[in-house]
Amino acid sequence: MPVASLKTRRKKTKPVKSRQDYDSFKEFGGQLYTGMQVGRSHKWNYDKGVWQERKATPDQWDLTYSVIKRRAGKAPEGSGVPVGTGYHWFILSHQFVHKLNANDYSTAMTGIKFKIAHKRADKDTWNISEAAKRKLLIKMLKAFVTSLENEPEKTEVIPLNLEFQSKKYQGRAVPLFTTCANGICRDLDITLNDQHFGIIRCTKNGWRMTDVKPQKLVNTIGEQIALWYE
């Protein structure tokens, strides 16, 4: 399948620049919502955090993670929610880990998160009860499992083996679940030679990756992904 066949034409939208735009009602898939527009993205820098984990079963670990995240850049003046707003998210993620030495591991994560609840800045309680949170989480997880079962196997991890400027690369492309349709995924998380490169996206203007140069390397990665879907 050529790269062009993976391209999608998206209607251009104006960036959210004000609180009024942020709070205005928008529509996606028949659902009304407020906040940042679907399709836009955030980039965050995380401070040195504390990740703690405890082995619960031979294959399960319980974990906690606490850290402050900081916006890479600045929010448009007057946009976003008021200071004091809270969110309760549930995260599903792949974590790829490689041992570097006796004490250090490289780690890269890619996945999705569901909004379970929110707390307004002028409120002391969440917008729904703990029982309602549980019911919503069960509903979301059931829908997610159904979507996985209905997707062909080619939405799984794609092995990468390529050469660029006399250097060999081996790694994987992990599809982002929510960008897959009819067995083809348009956004994938890239790791090459045990180094996390970031997300590659198939856009109407070709393959794109943030902070990865040169573009020819991005195109080479994208071409191999396109071949996988043929």
How many CB atoms neighbour CB 175 within 10 A?
22
Residues 140 and 178 in one domain: no
Residue 64 lies in a domain: yes
Residue 86 lies in a domain: yes
Residues 41 and 139 in one domain: yes
Residues 119 and 162 in one domain: no
Residues 25 and 139 in one domain: yes
Residues 70 and 167 in one domain: no
The residue out of 113, 132, 150 marking a domain boundary is: 150
Range of the domain at 58: 19-150
Residues 224 and 129 in one domain: no
Residues 139 and 171 in one domain: no
Count up the domains in the chain and report the number: 2
d(CA 176, CA 148): 12
**Prior bond to 214 cis, omega within 30?**
yes
Residues 158 and 135 in one domain: no
Full pLDDT tens readout for the chain, 230 residues: 444 445 444 444 444 455 667 778 888 888 888 777 887 778 889 999 999 999 999 999 999 999 999 998 888 777 778 899 999 999 998 887 888 899 998 887 878 899 999 999 999 999 999 999 999 999 999 988 887 787 666 567 899 999 999 999 999 998 887 788 777 888 898 989 988 888 899 988 899 998 888 999 999 999 999 999 88
Identify the H or E element spanning 169.
Answer: strand 167-175
Residues 72 and 117 in one domain: yes
Beta strand pairing call for 167-175 and 158-164: antiparallel
d(CA 44, CA 133): 26
pTM of the entire structure? 0.69
